[in-house]
């Protein structure tokens, strides 16, 4: 198949290119040429910008387009409108953030989605990101009625992840010593290896699938405790997991998700379903998951290739972690069930 990828070879785009080439497809990428421009010399590269510079896409035909970088409805509308007559299928990478809330575990594709009071707004914030993705989905469906695949991805993890929202844990556990673990070991977590997601997307494109799919994993429920134990088993580090009660962490001003990745306080009633979305539709359609140990091992190996002075984008500063552990271990009521 002739595939057009909108976006650069940074993370998911990179995995999609790898999967597409491995399966024998002819790929073209369209981006500004800023991120890893010299990778994949065998791939056709078109340069441009979605903000008014789509000329390189005119008068061309592809079997399908995969859009990894659509965030602003106006720009997605322009791109999809331009390609509607020359591309058979459009795959849009959306997000589980489209849902209006995550108060209830088991939200599937029929869940209510978020809305913007001002649908002309374009500033991307924590509050607008999801509703803007909703409008992008609608723009794609209008341009490609019945020909659009909407992938509502969860947390994407694995090698080359620029966010550090998963990488922090394999790296931190591998360093050994006392590791601050948030909340309870039984707290659920969800994520999907970027390579599993990319392989599934390419197969769905090959099958000319359409519709909306939640896409996160793993297939069986995963807990924070199981993830950290997998990190410990893979790294073989001399590590003690110190489980710290979430009330203590919140009182200390620790930021969920950013300072302690994957941690969302269970005391927040609006987040009861945050790590419990229903991806059974995608799993039935072939989404599969490699063992978490494999993801941890490969992520850790990749992280070791980064500069020693890498500025982490998520995770606790070592001094901050040590200070919190000292305070927690000095308490008498620090048992976590």
240/263 same-domain check: yes
What pLDDT, on a 0 to 100 scale, did the predictor assign at position 204?
Answer: 98
Q: Is residue 114 included in any domain, yes or no? A: yes
CB atoms under 10 Å from CB of 38, counted, come to: 8
pLDDT value at 237 more than 90: no
CATH number of the domain that residue 225 is part of: 3.90.25.10
pLDDT digits 0-9 by tens, 77-135: 999 999 999 999 999 999 999 999 999 999 999 999 999 999 999 999 999 999 999 99
pLDDT value at 332 more than 90: no
250/143 same-domain check: no
Query: Measured between alpha carbons, how far is residue 126 from residues 98, 123, 129, 130, 214 in Å?
Result: 11, 10, 6, 8, 20
Contact 315, 259 (CB under 8 A): yes
Q: Is residue 38 included in any domain, yes or no? A: yes
What range defines the domain where residue 317 resides?
168-189+220-271+291-329
Residue 218 CB burial class (10 angstroms; 0-12, 13-18, ≥19): buried
Query: Measured between alpha carbons, how far is residue 168 from residues 120, 162, 200, 250 in Å?
Result: 37, 11, 26, 20
Classify the C-alpha dihedral 247-251-254-255 as positive or negative. Answer: positive
Contact 182, 263 (CB under 8 A): yes
Residue 48 CB burial class (10 angstroms; 0-12, 13-18, ≥19): middle
Q: Is residue 278 included in any domain, yes or no? A: no
Query: Measured between alpha carbons, how far is residue 25 from residues 2, 86, 223, 320 in Å?
Result: 6, 18, 37, 48
The number of domains in the chain is: 2
pLDDT above 70 coverage of the chain, percent: 98
Nearest to 53 by CA among 80, 73, 75, 27: 75
Which whole number is the average pLDDT over 245-262? 96
pLDDT digits 0-9 by tens, 202-235: 999 999 999 999 999 999 999 999 999 999 999 9
124/184 same-domain check: no
**Arithmetic mean of pLDDT over the chain:** 95
Which whole number is the average pLDDT over 260-272? 93
pLDDT value at 59 more than 90: yes
DSSP assignment of 301-314: HHHTTS-TT---SS
Domain boundary among 128, 153, 178: 153
């Amino acid at each position: 198949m002739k595939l057009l990828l909108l976006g650069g070879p940074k993370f998911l785009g990179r995995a999609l290119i790898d999967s597409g080439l491995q399966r024998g497809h002819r790929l073209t990428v369209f981006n500004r040429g800023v991120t890893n421009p010299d990778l994949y010399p065998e791939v056709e590269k078109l340069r441009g910008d979605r903000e008014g510079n789509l000329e390189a896409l005119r008068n061309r035909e592809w079997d399908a387009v995969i859009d990894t970088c659509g965030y602003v409805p106006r720009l997605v509308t322009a791109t999809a409108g331009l390609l509607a007559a020359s591309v058979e299928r459009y795959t849009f990478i959306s997000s589980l953030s489209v849902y209006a809330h995550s108060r209830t575990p088991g939200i599937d594709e029929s869940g209510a989605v978020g809305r913007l009071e001002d649908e002309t707004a374009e500033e991307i914030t924590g509050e607008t990101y999801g509703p803007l993705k909703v409008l992008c989905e609608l723009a794609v469906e209008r341009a490609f009625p019945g020909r659009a695949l909407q992938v509502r991805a969860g947390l994407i993890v694995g090698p080359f992840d620029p966010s550090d929202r998963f990488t922090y844990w394999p790296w931190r556990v591998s360093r050994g010593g006392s590791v601050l673990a948030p909340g309870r070991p039984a707290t659920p977590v969800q994520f999907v290896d970027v390579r599993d997601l990319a392989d599934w997307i390419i197969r769905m494109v090959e099958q000319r699938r359409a519709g909306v799919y939640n896409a996160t994993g793993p297939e069986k429920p995963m807990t924070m405790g199981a993830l950290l134990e997998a990190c410990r088993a893979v790294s073989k580090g001399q590590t003690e997991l110190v489980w710290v009660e979430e009330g203590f962490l919140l009182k200390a001003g620790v930021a969920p998700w950013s300072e302690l990745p994957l941690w969302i306080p269970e005391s927040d009633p609006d987040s009861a379903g945050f790590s419990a979305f229903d991806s059974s539709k995608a799993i039935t359609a072939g989404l599969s998951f490699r063992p978490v140990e494999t993801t941890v091992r490969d992520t850790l190996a990749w992280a070791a290739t980064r500069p020693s002075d890498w500025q982490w984008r998520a995770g606790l500063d070592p001094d901050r972690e040590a200070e919190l552990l000292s305070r927690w271990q000095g308490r008498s009521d620090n048992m976590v069930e």
